[in-house]
Amino acid sequence: MNYQFFNNKNSLSMTKQLVIKDATYVKDVLISMRTNSLIKKELEAVAKRKGMNLTDYINAMMIDNLKQEGISITVNHQL
Residues in the chain: 79
pLDDT of 70 higher than 80 = yes
Query: What share of the chain in percent tops pLDDT 90?
Result: 14
**What pLDDT is attached to residue 68?**
87
Per residue in 29-64, pLDDT (tens digit) is 666 667 788 888 888 999 999 999 998 898 888 888
**What pLDDT is attached to residue 28?**
59
Are the CB atoms for 63 and 77 separated by under 8 Å? no
Are the CB atoms for 5 and 42 separated by under 8 Å? yes
Dist. CA 27–CA 76, nearest whole Å? 42
**What pLDDT is attached to residue 48?**
95
What are the domain boundaries of the chain? 2-50
Cα atoms found within 13 Å of the Cα of residue 27, Cβ hemisphere only? 7
pTM of the model: 0.54
